[in-house]
Every structure is written in structure tokens, then in C-alpha cells.
Amino acid sequence: MDRLQKVIAHAGIASRRKAEELILEGKVKVNGTVVKELGVKVGPSDKIEVNEVPLEREEPVYFLLYKPRGVISSVKDDKGRKVVTDYFTEIKQRIYPVGRLDYDTSGVLLLTNDGEFANLLMHPSSEVEKVYVAKIKGIPQKEQLKKLARGIQLEDGKTAPAKVKLLSFDKKNQTAIVELTIHEGRNRQVRRMFEAIGHPVMKLKRERYGTLTLHGLNAGEAKELTPHEVKQLRVLAMKKTSK
């Protein structure tokens, strides 16, 4: 037996908080009866409706995709471009990406049908580390890298402190490879951070998400996460909120 709001969140209908609001507003029925109290528990045989629409309960699934460049982090695209769910045509569950990677960015992307899990990872208080490797124009000076580490002022506010490492540079071609570790998830954040110090990104890849890496995968390949890997991500995401 699980709490009603948890079941709704797992189905991907809404976050747990939003599910609680739907219950309090009288928009949820269990076995034909409106439920307006939180804490009600339901089992697999109970019939749930949200806004008069029957809830289709699925077993939660969790995947890691090595997203290639030139793929949209969405379940569909009105321009007909390739989307990340195109790599999961044999999966019956209705999965969707946790956050997103830009069209031209490759690397680790999580997909799931567990709404509560996705919202936990994307919550602003979550400090799950994300490691990016960027090929940039020009060779940054130490002080520029320190600026990235301290936080950069962008149009939507200052970024949180980051970890920065210059991996290599090419004097002839005037390019450099830099590793950047952040825990935020703003739109095009890494690219904007490098642009702010005068070194635009030429190529970008997310190498790690929390404890998960691309080890053993080629671009376009995916793997299902183990229960232990899912638990590790939950623990990392909840560390900040529990302090």
C-alpha cells in the first residue's frame, strides 16, 4: 500500500506536492469516491481517477542514455527532429527525460516514468553533481577559471560555486579542454558560463551525473539503472534538503 499522492507522482501526472493539491481540491477519486484528505493509502487493485481521467499505473523504470549530439531532450518535436525517446521504442512505459541536454550537447541523460524521482533530482535544493567536459575557443587564464569556480554573474543571477580543471590546451589551434562540475541545471548554463569569460564552447559533453558515468556505452546506447544506482541518486538529491 502506498500513499495516494505518491502513486499519482509515480505515474508522472504531477509532482507529489501538486498531487496533494489536486487531492485537497477534490479532483481525485478512488474507486469512484472523491478523496479530499491526505494520507489515504491505495493498493494495486484500487481504481484512481485524476480530473475524471483514469490513472494508468506503471512500474517505475529508470534509464541512463548516452545522448548523442543533434538529438532533442524531449518526447516529441514539432519539427520532426530526432528525440531521446526514439532510442526506447521497445519500452512500454511512458518515459521522459529528467531535465535536458542541449541539442548540440552529448552525454549522460536520465529518463524515467517516476515523476517524484524526476522532481526530486530537478528541485533547486538538489545538489547532485554534474560533470561536463568542454572544448572551448582560446586558452583561459587562471584568473578566468577562478571566476568560474567562484560563480559567474549571468542574466538570471549568479551561478553557485563550481569545480574547474584545465585538462589540456592547444597553442597552435588556440583551444582548450576544461572540466566543469556544477550542481545547478539552468538553461544552457555551462555554455553561458564560458561565454561570460570570453571563451565560447565548441563542443560539450556531460560525463557524469551524480555517481553515474558513460562507462561501457557508445553514443545512442542506454542502460537500465539498478535499484542501488537509483537509491544512490535519491540519497544525493536529498542530502541538501535534510540539512
Owner of C-alpha cell 557508445:
218
| CB-count exposure of residue 93 (10 Å: 0-12, 13-18, 19+) | middle
Amino acid at 129: E
CA atoms within 13 Å, Cβ hemisphere of 231 = 3
Question: For residue 85, which phi and psi values (nearest 5 degrees)?
Answer: -70, -10
Please, which residues bridge with residue 66 across strands? 108
DSSP for residue 103: T
Alpha-carbon Rg for the chain in angstroms: 21
Contact between residue 4 and residue 23 where contact means Cβ atoms under 8 Å apart? yes
Amino acid at 184: E
**Cα(225)–Cα(210) distance, integer angstroms:** 13
Catalytic residues: 102
Mode of pairing for the β-strands spanning 2-3 and 41-42: antiparallel
Closest residue by Cα to residue 104 from 89, 82, 122: 82
